[in-house]
Amino acid sequence: MNFFRSEEHVDAWWRSGPAPGAAATLDEAFALGAEIFGGRLLRLIGRAGSPTG
């Protein structure tokens, strides 16, 4: 999967001859991750800052 800073960045990449695969801005990727992993992702992120995480 490819990640991009903005829609303009995606468009420039696409016009230059994209590699096969999916593409998403970081905002889109985070939203997709939330859809795929739901509460588990939020629990993992919450644990990342804990001493036992």
Q: Which residues pair with 24 in a beta bridge?
A: 3
Can you give the pLDDT at residue 25? Answer: 77
Better pLDDT: 20 or 38 = 38
**Contact status, residue 23 vs residue 33, Cβ threshold 8 Å:** no
The predicted-structure confidence for 11-33, as pLDDT tens digits, reads as follows: 888 788 766 777 777 888 888 88
**Beta carbons within 8 Å of 22's beta carbon, 6+ residues apart:** 1, 2
**Contact status, residue 24 vs residue 4, Cβ threshold 8 Å:** yes
Neighbours of 4 (CB within 10 A): 19
The predicted-structure confidence for 2-11, as pLDDT tens digits, reads as follows: 677 788 887 8
Residue 52 has pLDDT above 60, yes or no: no
